[in-house]
Amino acid sequence: MGSPLESPGGIWWNRKVSGLEKSWVGLAVLTAIILFAWMIGWQQLGAQNPTGPTYSVAPENYQAQVQAYKDAATETEQGLVPAGEDVYIGARQWTWDGVPVVLEVGKEYRFHLSSYDVQHGFGLHRRDKLIEQFNLQVLPGYEWVVPITFKHPGIYDIQCNEFCGVNHRIMYGKIIVE
Amino acid sequence: MAFGLLKSDYGADGFRTCGVTGLKIHRSAEVPIKLFGLTAVVALIVGGIAALLVALTRWEAVGILGPPDFYKFLSLHAWNLLIFWMVFMEIAILYVGGPIVLGRRLPWSGLAKAGWGIMLGSALLIEYAILTTTPPDNQPLLTSYAPLQSSPEFYLGAILFILGAVIAALPFFWCIWQEKRENRGKTLPLVTFGAFITGIIAVEALVGGLVTYVPTYLWRIGVVAEIDAAWYRHMYWIIGHGSQQINLVAMITVWYFMTYLTAGAEVVSEKISRAAFILYLFFINMGAAHHLMADPVLSSQWKMWNTSYAVYGAVIASLIHAFAIPAGLEAGRRKRGLGGDTWFGWLRTAPWHDPGFSATVWSIVLFGFLGGITGVLMGQMQLNTLRHNTMAVPGHFHGTVAVGTTLAFMGLLYYVIKLFFNKDWVFEKLARLQPHLYAAAMSITAMAMMEAGIAYGAPRRDPVTVQIPGTDFNFAAAEPMYALLGVSAILAVLAGVIFIVVAVGSLLFGKEATVTTPVPLSLTGGDRPAHEYSMRGTMAMVLFFLLVFLLFYALDWMWLSRLWEFGT
């Protein structure tokens, strides 16, 4: 008895379980509930969630949208200043379309993310404080609208963080927050 | 020589009796176990060589490979270690857990060999595809995310490999079927039960793989015009993550087996441990969703329900095993009077000099602290955005697979050499040192990756992050972590070389095994059931683990809350 290589035999499901093991199972269940509840709670109340509406869009149509957005924006020495609260970014091998872009601190922008060709990754890094960074997936055929509000002025570097071909490593862009 | 290795002395009925475990071993099961085990070791060698080149490239001060070669060797590294080394071992584990533990023949052993042949042939086709990839095709890495195309041979190889693995699994299922038909009402041993659950999870994953790769192959050769990126990701991760869940469940089965074999662990509650395996069966495949947390298309409800395995069903299972296995060790050793009546005497006096034991224990501890904790953190929808596609991701799965599963399988192989090949270990001192060195070095490797990813956002799959052409941005701040990664990876590869030298040396030159286990497996101590012995040492350790987990959980959420605001 007790060997994992032998059939336990008899009515093993009625055998006593040690008190400590029972308490541990209780703790495990409690942990599970807390983890789940916290995630849902943050989705309701927290300010950082990888969520937003997605629309189907053909890559060429999305590219046309980005062009229209660029035409409406103001060109400055630092980069594009968007006309409204929408910021369009198009990913393609191996550049970001629609950048550099100049944004205001504390203002909520609707970021539109999609790709013209293959899968890319929207990695965003605060240059002066690298621990502040996040990562979203960018897919061709889908336009993802994610609201973003920057808390601090500075340079934010966009880095493709999904392997997108042999020159993946050079795919960078810039957001300037003032 | 090679054929000699596959021979043992069997009786007229094809059975022999293992001198240590007393198990009846039939030739029809033993020969395939040796075949699959040896092939797995070859994949470990190829993947390990690639590992060294990849690590010395990510250590950018060395920067041994240019980008095209980096992706080539990264693909070889991924496929040989994450897939071939693991899956060949896992088929062997199914055959150990089924026919060997049950003392049966392996039925349809021709299918086992056919499966092995197909898996080997298709693995070679994948290696060939990776080595000959040229533009406009791209290296597949592990994920071959469509619509970025790889070579047609690659997709074909993947399809055939999956088919081969399914074929090789069939004799195992038939063996379980026969056992249940002949012994109605008799419960399977826990190790067999674990192997059975592993087998089911494996087939689910493999079917997902066919659903992914067959249409993708048709798209690649032009039969299907378009492929949807979101569809591909959704399907791919059924096998992409599912294959790693096979590793997990197989590894846990090995933990029960090896702690018993090397140190006298017992099952403290059949009911609880089996319930945990059943939780895996129902919930663990939902973990595929972990890869889709930073994706468009999917709703937040879908994400949170799936990423949590339906309110963390699989995490509860893992926490149960995290208690049950050390508790089995503690109770089993207390029962045998080993280590005295102190909190941790049972652990201190355990056979740490036995590589089968030390590899298993390091696998358990480090899987939990490195792989388990980071896995749950990354699996939270919001926290995932901090780690997705950064170095923290390979950091996590080196904690699970490279430290956890690989160490467990190495520990198992030390005993396969003794019990199946009937050979003593050569260079015994090196063998005793090896698991400790590998555990330490690979842990540091994994932690360096985690730190580079989470503290600096350093990207994975990127050979150039310090002097990046075309931008004034860089990840130079992460360079100390890259250096640490490089140095510790060299040591880990060295520990891998020691393992190969001992394993291959023992097979070729080892003396006939004088097999004993470090503890008497027959009960010499008390006659009370295991659950009546104290498990206080285990309780203290798992509480410490939970505390560490909560600390990292709080830290991650603190960092997330300081980030810019995003999402709806």
Which ipTM was obtained for this model?
0.96
Distance CA B100, CA B20 (A): 13
pLDDT of B461 higher than 90: yes
Kind of pairing between the strands at B565-566 and A142-149: antiparallel
B536 touching chain A per CB within 8 A: yes
Least CB-CB distance to B316: which of A15, A23, A29? A29
Per-residue pLDDT, B19? 82
**Residue numbers in B near A9 (CB within 8 A):** 186-187
Decide if A25 and B316 are in contact by the 8 Å CB cutoff. Answer: yes
**Averaged pLDDT, B385-403:** 97
Q: A63 to chain B, minimum CA–CA distance in Å?
A: 17
Query: Residue B84 gets which letter from DSSP?
Result: I
Does B72 reach chain A within 8 Å, measured CB to CB?
Answer: no
CB contact under 8 A, B388 and A137: yes
User: For a pLDDT cut of 70, what percent of chain B falls above it?
Assistant: 97
Out of B475, B562, B568, whose CB is closest to A51? B568
**For residue A143, which residues of chain B lie inside 8 Å, CB to CB?**
296
Closest-CA distance, B509 to chain A, in angstroms, reads 31
CB contact under 8 A, A142 and B376: no
Q: Residue B223's Cα: distance from chain center in Å?
A: 36
- Write out the two tokens for B398: 């080196």
Question: Which of B86, B120, B46 shows the shortest CA–CA distance to B500?
Answer: B46
In 3-state terms, chain A is what percent helix, strand and coil (to 5)? 25, 35, 40
The chain-wide mean pLDDT, for chain A, equals 96
Tell me how crowded residue B121 is: count the other CB atoms within 10 A of its CB: 13
Per residue in B191-248, pLDDT tens?
999 999 999 999 999 999 999 999 999 999 999 999 999 999 999 999 999 999 999 9
Which among B130, B148, B268 is the top mutation candidate for probing chain A, defined by the most A β-carbons within 10 Å of its own β-carbon? B148
- Measured in residues, chain B has a length of 568
Query: What is the tens place of the pLDDT at every residue in B5-56?
Result: 777 889 999 999 988 888 999 999 999 999 999 999 999 999 999 999 999 9
Residues 6+ positions from A138 with CB-CB distance below 8 Å: A91, A113, A114, A115, A119, A120, A121, A122, A144, A162, B296
- Give me the residue label for tokens 């040492």: B537
User: How close does chain B come to A176, measured CA to CA in Å?
Assistant: 13
- Closest-CA residue of chain A to B528: A1
| pLDDT classification of B529: cutoffs 50, 70, 90 | confident
Chain A: closest CA distance from residue B358 (Å): 19
pLDDT at B526 exceeding the cut of 80: no
Q: How far apart are CA B346 and CA B357, in angstroms?
A: 13
State whether B21 and A5 contact (CB < 8 Å).
Answer: yes
Residues B367, B365: Cα–Cα separation, whole Å = 6
Interface test with chain B among A1, A3, A12, by most B beta carbons within 10 Å:
A3
Q: Is B219 on the interface with A (CB under 8 A)?
A: no
**Chain segment A100-134, per-residue pLDDT in tens:** 999 999 999 999 999 999 999 999 999 999 999 99
pLDDT band at A35 (very low <50, low <70, confident <90, very high): very high
Mutation target among B282, B389, B466, B472 for the A interface, most CBs of A within 10 A? B389
Question: Predicted confidence band at B396 (pLDDT cuts at 50, 70, 90)?
Answer: very high
* Banded pLDDT at B340 (limits 50, 70, 90): confident
Q: Given a cut of 80, is residue B447 above it in pLDDT?
A: yes
Q: Can you tell me the mean pLDDT for B408-413?
A: 97
What is the reported pTM?
0.96
The answer, yes or no, to whether residue A160 has pLDDT greater than 80, is: yes
Does residue B411 sit in helix, strand or coil? helix
- DSSP, res B462: -
Check CB contact of B552 with chain A, cutoff 8 Å.
no
Rounded-to-integer distance, Cα B163 and Cα B447, Å: 36
The rounded mean pLDDT for chain B is 95
Tokens of B280: 């895996």
Confidence grade of residue B379 (pLDDT, cut at 50, 70, 90): very high
Task: Please tell me the predicted confidence (pLDDT) of residue B34.
Answer: 95
B278 to chain A, any CB pair closer than 8 A? The answer is: no
Residue B20 DSSP symbol = T
Q: What integer is the mean pLDDT of B492-519?
A: 90
Looking at residue B86, its amino acid is M
User: In which band, very low, low, confident or very high, does the pLDDT at A1 lie, cut at 50, 70 and 90?
Assistant: low
Q: Write down the pLDDT at residue B220.
A: 98
Q: Using a CB–CB cutoff of 8 Å, tell me whether B561 touches chain A.
A: yes
Q: What is the pLDDT of residue B246?
A: 94
Token pair 């003794």 in the structure block, residue = B418
pLDDT of residue B1: 47
CA distance to partner chain B, nearest, from residue A178 (Å): 14
Q: Which of B299, B454, B560 sits opposite A48 (nearest CB)?
A: B560
> Is the CB of B471 inside 8 Å of chain A's CB atoms?
yes
Q: Does residue A24 carry a pLDDT above 50?
A: yes
Of A35, A48, A136, the CB nearest to B312: A35
- Work out the average pLDDT over A22-50: 97
Q: Do the Cβ atoms of A39 and B381 come within 8 Å?
A: yes
Which B-chain residues 392-451 have CB contacts (< 8 A) with chain A? Answer: none
CA atoms within 13 A on the CB side of B525: 20
Q: How far is A7 from chain B (nearest CA, A)?
A: 4
